A and B are shown apart, each in its own frame.
Chain A
Amino acid sequence: MAASDDRAGTAANLSRRDLLAVAALGAAAGVPRIARAAAPTGELTWGIHVTLASTWLDPAETQGIITPFMVLYALHDAMVKPMPEKSAAPCLAESWTATPDGLSYTFAIRKNAKFHNGEPVTAEDVKFSFERYHGVSAKLMHDAVATIETPDPQHVIFKLKRPWPDFLTFYSSASGAGWVVPKKYVEKVGDDGFKAAPIGAGPYKFVSYKPGVELVLEAFEGYWRKTPAVKRLVMKVIPDESTRLAALKRGEIDIAYSIRGELAEELRKSPGLSLKAVVLQAPNWLYFPEQWDPKSPWHDLRVRQAANLALDRKGMSDALFLGYCKITNNAVVPYTFDFYWQPPEAVYDPEKAKKLMAEAGFARGFDAGNLTCDSSYANMAEVAIDNLQAIGIRAKLLPIERAAFFAAYGGKKYDKGIIQAASGAFGNAATRMAAFVVKGGAFAYGSYPDIDELFPKQADELDRGKRAAILDKMQQLVHEKAIYAPIWQLGFLNGVGPRVGESAFGTIPGFAYTAPFEDITIKAG
C-alpha cells in the first residue's frame, strides 16, 4: 500500500492559520460524496490466490504484509488511510491538526461514521483500537505515544513522547493501528468472538466465513462515504492459478487475483475478460555486497555502473510480466512512498557497459560467484545473469527458498557475489534507507559515510521541505554510487470478468487489490 503521506497539518513550523487551512483541506478531501446511490444490488465473486485467514478480519492482528488489507478495506475503516484521491486521506477522521512542536496530533471524527451495528464511531473506540493493536510496528507506535486523550466523543488527541515526523505514516498506512473497531462490542464478545463475527465501520458487513475457504460480505448502506453499489461480495479461495482462470472464463468468479506468465497472455486473449495490472510497492534490485572490499572488482564504481547498464529491464518485463512492471530506476524506494526521489531514466547500453568494464581493467570480464535470490523470483535472476554475462560478468544462479533467503540475507551471510532481492515493507523513503542503505541497516552489508551522516539529520528534521531535501540527497547518492542495480517495481496481474463495471484495481497507487470496495460496480443490463 502506498505509504506516501501528503499530510495535512503535520508540518511543525506551520502557523495556526496554516494549520486551520490545511485541516480544512483535509476535511474537504474527505467530504463524502453523499449523493445517495440506488440500493445495492447483485453479487460479485472473487477468486483469491492466497488463503483467507481469520486474523484478517481483525485490524489488531495486522501483520507487515499487504494481503490482510484486501479484506480490511471492505470490512473496516481507518481514521486515515490511502485512498484514490490522497495517500493519507481523511476517512473516519474528517480532519486533523498537529502542534508546531510535533508532539500532539488532534483528530476530529466524522459525525456520520457508524459501525455496522448502527453505533457511532467515537473517540473511545479510536483510543481502544490503538491500545488494543498488536500487529506490525505495534511496539514502535505504543512506545512513541505518551497519552491518548478523548476530550469528547468526536475528538481524540495523541500526545507523543518526542517529535516523530513519521507518526502519521505509520498511523495511516504502515500499520493497522489506525483501523477502528467498536470497543463495546469487542469487550462484550472478546477477541475470538470478534474474529468469529466481526463488526466494523467499513462499506461491507460480515455475513459468513469458512476459514481458508470463503468469506461473504454484504453492503452496509450506512457507510459514510457512499452506499456500495454491489449488494453481496463473495471471496473464494482458489489456490491454483489455472483453476482461477478456468473459473473466470466460466463466469464462476468475476475477479481473479494473480494470473501470471503464459496464463496472463491467455487471459489477455480471452474474449470478454480483461487483464488488470497493478504496480506493487515492492521494488526488485541487484545488490553488490563486495563493493566495500578493495580487492573485489565490485569495489570499482565503473563495474557497478556497467552492471546497471547491462540490465535490459524492459525486455525482461516484456518477457516475464507482459511489460507491466514499472521501471523507476530507484532501487529500494517505491514511487508511491513519501519522500520518493525520481532518478534519471534507466539506460540499457551493453556497449557502454563493456567500455566501462575495460576502463576498470576487466575487459575480459570476471567470475562474480553466485547470484543468490529468493527462489520465487529465479526467472528474473536468470535473465539478469544472461544480461551480465553479455558484458563479461559471469555469475551462477543460486535460488534459495524465500524464508531461508531473507534470513541469510538479513544475517549478512551472502557477503560474496550478487544478491537479487525485493522489499514490500511499509514505510517511507527514510525507513527504506534505514533498512537497506545506512550503517547498521538490517540488510546493509556496508555503508558510505556521506550517506550515514545525512540519516540522523533527516530523522530530527521537523520541517517537511528540509527533510525531503535530505532524503532526496541520500537517494541521489545511492544512485550515483551505484550501490544497487535497480530492476523494477513488479506488475501484479489480475483478471476481470465481463459482468464487472468498475473493478477498482489500481485506483489506490501501489495497492495490489481491488479497493475502495464501495466504488466497485456491476455493469448495467
Chain B
Amino acid sequence: MKRYIGRRAGYSLLSLFLLSLTIFFFVRVTGDPAALLVEPGASASDIAAIHHQFGLDRPLWVQYGIFMSQLFHGDLGQSFYYRTPVMALYLSRLPNSLILAVAAMAFSLIIGIPSGILAAVKVGKFWDSAGKVFALLGLSLPAFWVGLVMILLFSVYLGWLPSSGSGTPWHLIMPAFALGWYFAAAHMRLTRSSMLEVLGSEYVKLARIKGLPQWFVIAKHAFKNALIPVLTLAGINLVLMINVAVVVETVFAWPGIGRLLYEGIAFRDFPVVQGVVLMGGAMIVGVNLLIDILYAVIDPRIRLEK
C-alpha cells in the first residue's frame, strides 16, 4: 500500500512539474505584457524599463529558475498588474470562489441527480425526453448568455435581484444558477447512464424478483451504487468551479478566482496566470490522488495491479 501511495504521489508531483513548465512557457507565447502597460507610441526606454522591472529582460531559463525557487518557498511571485504577491491575491479571492462553487454544486446536484434518476427510471418516456432536453440546453447554452438573460429578467425587468457584485445571499443566486446550470446537465446525464447500467444489473433484477418495492430497489440498491461515479465527477467539477468560473464571475462581477485568471490573461500578468493555473492543477491532482488512494483502500485489486 505504501509503495502504491508513493508511486501515485510521485506521478502527482511529476504532473505538477510538467504543468509548471507548460504554463510558464505557454503564457510567454501570448506576447509582451509591457505592450499593455503603455500607450502605442511609447518610447523604447519606457518599454525596456518595464521589462527590467518585471525581470523579463533575463534569459527564460533564469526566469523559470526564479519561479521554481519561489514556488518551493510557497511564493507564487508578484503580480505585474497589482504589484502584490499572487498568493495573497489568490487567497483573497478564494473564499468568494468557494462560496460560489459550493452553492453552484449544491444547485447542480439537487437538480441533476433527481432528474437523472427520474429519466433512468422512466426511460423512453416523457420524463426521460424532458431530461434529455434539459441536458441539451444545459450543455449547449453558453453561461454568459444564461447570465445576461437572468440579469435582464430578474434584475432589470422584475427588480428582484442585484445585477452584480457580492456581499449578500441575494447576490449569490444568479451566479450560482448560471454556473450550476451546465454542471447540473452533466450530472443529470451521468446519473441517468449510471442508473441505467445499475438497474440492468443482476443484483437489481434479483431484488425485483424477490418482490421488493420499486422505490426500495431504486433507493437502496441502485442509487447507492450509481452515485459513486457521479460523486467522483462532482469532486473534480467542484475544483473546476472554484478555479475556472471565468465567464460567470466576469458577467456577474463576482470577485473570485476565475475573474482573477481572466484579469491575468487580459493583462498578460504572467505570475497571476501561472499561480492560478498551478493552484487549480494542484487541487485537481490532489483530488485525483485522494480518489486513487480511496479506490485502493476499497478495492485491493487496484493497488496490486502493476
Contacts and interface: CB of A to CB of B under 8 A. Distances in A.
Interface of A: 51, 53-55, 61, 63-66, 134, 136-140, 192, 195, 210-213, 236-240, 242-243, 246-247, 249-250, 252, 282, 401-404, 406-407, 409-410, 421-426, 432, 435-436, 442-443
B43 A140 contact: yes
29 contacts: A51-B81, A55-B83, A134-B53, A136-B38, A195-B84, A211-B82, A212-B255, A212-B259, A238-B165, A239-B259, A242-B251, A243-B148, A243-B253, A246-B152, A246-B155, A247-B155, A247-B163, A250-B162, A252-B164, A252-B165, A403-B35, A404-B31, A406-B35, A407-B35, A409-B40, A423-B39, A423-B40, A424-B39, A425-B39
Given A238-B253, A239-B253, A250-B155, A403 B31 contact: yes
B127 to A, nearest CB: 35
Given A136-B38, A137-B46, A442-B44, A210 B83 contact: no
B102 interface: no
Contact of A402 (B35, B156, B252, B259): B35
B251 A243 contact: yes
A403 B32 contact: yes
A403 B268 contact: yes
A239 B144 CA distance: 13
A436 B31 contact: no
Interface string B15-49: 00000000000000001100111111111111001
Contact of A249 (B31, B81, B156, B252): B156
A53 B81 CA distance: 6
Given A211-B89, A240-B253, A250-B162, 19 more contacts: A61-B83, A63-B38, A139-B45, A139-B49, A140-B43, A140-B45, A192-B84, A212-B89, A239-B250, A239-B262, A240-B144, A243-B148, A250-B155, A250-B156, A250-B159, A404-B31, A406-B35, A435-B41, A442-B44
Interface of B: 31-32, 35-46, 49-50, 53, 81-84, 89, 92, 144, 148, 151-152, 155-156, 159, 162-165, 250-253, 255, 259-260, 262-263, 266-268
Contacts of B255: 210, 212-213
A58 B40 CA distance: 23
Contacts of B49: 134, 138-139
Contacts of A243: 148, 151, 163-164, 251-253
Q: Which 10 A-B pairs have the closest CB atoms?
A: A403-B35, A425-B41, A423-B41, A64-B38, A425-B39, A246-B163, A213-B255, A403-B31, A238-B253, A424-B39
A211 B96 CA distance: 14
A441 to B, nearest CB: 9
A54 B43 contact: no
B41 to A, nearest CB: 4
Nearest to B42: A64
Contacts of A211: 82, 84, 89, 92
Contacts of A238: 164-165, 253
Most chain A CB within a 10 A radius of its CB, from B251, B253, B266? B253
Contacts of B267: 51
A425 B35 contact: no
Contacts of A252: 162-165
Contact of B43 (A65, A137, A401, A404): A137
Contact of B84 (A54, A422, A423): A54
Contacts of B159: 250
Nearest to A246: B163
A243 to B, nearest CB: 5
Interface of A is mostly: mixed
Contact of A442 (B41, B148, B266): B41
A296 B70 CA distance: 55
Nearest to A54: B82
Contacts of A421: 40
A425 B35 CA distance: 12
Nearest to A52: B82
A55 B163 CA distance: 28
Nearest to A143: B45
Given A211-B89, A250-B162, A424 B40 contact: yes
Contacts of B36: 402-403
A2 B1 CA distance: 71
Contacts of A242: 148, 151, 251
A448 B284 CA distance: 61
A432 B125 CA distance: 72
A288 B226 CA distance: 67
A463 B218 CA distance: 93
A401 B266 CA distance: 11
Nearest to B268: A403
B83 A195 contact: yes
A368 to B, nearest CB: 23
Contacts of A423: 39-41
A210 B92 contact: yes
Contacts of A210: 92, 255
B146 to A, nearest CB: 13
Contacts of A409: 40
A378 to B, nearest CB: 16
A436 B39 CA distance: 14
A240 B250 contact: yes
Contacts of B263: 51, 212
A436 B41 contact: yes
A212 B32 contact: no
A136 B39 CA distance: 10
Nearest to B38: A64
A488 to B, nearest CB: 16
Contacts of A63: 37-38, 50
Most chain A CB within a 10 A radius of its CB, from B41, B83, B84, B262? B41
A246 B151 contact: yes
Nearest to B249: A239
A409 B49 CA distance: 20
B42 A425 contact: yes
Most chain B CB within a 10 A radius of its CB, from A61, A406, A443? A406
A370 to B, nearest CB: 19
Contacts of A436: 41
Given A137-B46, A243-B163, A252-B164, A237 B83 contact: no
A286 to B, nearest CB: 15
A422 to B, nearest CB: 7
Contacts of A249: 156
A136 B82 contact: no
A144 to B, nearest CB: 13
B181 to A, nearest CB: 18
A413 B38 CA distance: 20
Contacts of B40: 406, 409-410, 421-425, 443
A443 B41 contact: yes
Contacts of A250: 155-156, 159, 162-163
Contacts of B266: 51
A191 to B, nearest CB: 9
Contacts of A134: 49, 53
A426 B39 contact: yes
A470 B216 CA distance: 94
B35 A55 contact: no
Contact of A407 (B32, B144, B252): B32
Most chain B CB within a 10 A radius of its CB, from A212, A242, A410? A212
B156 A246 contact: yes
A375 B37 CA distance: 18
A136 B34 CA distance: 11
